[in-house]
Amino acid sequence: MTATAAKATTAPAAETTFVPGYAPGVPFLKADAHGQPYIEGHRCGACGAAYTLPRLACPRCFSRDALVPFRSSGRGHVHTYTVVHRSYPGIKVPFVSAIVDLDDGLVLKGNLTGVPIDPTQIPFGLPIRVVFDEVPGQKDAQGLPYLTYFFAPEKDAAA
């Protein structure tokens, strides 16, 4: 009988593949096995708080190692927004920068598309869905365009 080398009891995490032909624009933008993009959240198993990025401990209840990744539904409501009229060179203005509350507890900041650039026409609480599109004119070191997320009114978002 010979001693056997200890073998790993868990398989290494599968290599994450992203949407074919794109680079992720933010670290919490992931893609499933079918190449469909989604927002990944991390939920605290102790108190239920949700965050976009993994953390060593939950900022709300201080539990350690309790955060578990989940796939966001991408549905929520506009919490607040502003119309941006001046930005960096090359950024087309005006645009609507919004903070949304997703139904699964995540809070995201991003651009609200598909609405008139008119504060009288964008109600707070507007139902939205996260949609994905290319960042215009930006590529990574391999020449891949970045994919990022936007918000669209729920009535306009494709299924």
Under the rule (CB under 5 A), what is the footprint of Zn ion?
Answer: 44, 46-47, 49, 58, 60-61, 63
What stretches of the chain adopt beta strand conformation (E)?
23-24, 29-31, 37-44, 50-51, 67-71, 75-84, 95-102, 107-112, 127-139, 145-153
Instruction: Report, in Å, the least distance between residue 28 CB and Zn ion.
Output: 18
The smaller minimum CB distance to Zn ion, of residues 50 and 83, is found at 50
Is 132:147 a contact under the CB 8 Å cutoff? yes
Instruction: Report, in Å, the least distance between residue 77 CB and Zn ion.
Output: 23
The smaller minimum CB distance to Zn ion, of residues 60 and 109, is found at 60
Instruction: Report, in Å, the least distance between residue 108 CB and Zn ion.
Output: 19
The smaller minimum CB distance to Zn ion, of residues 49 and 84, is found at 49
Pairing state between β 75-84 and 95-102: antiparallel
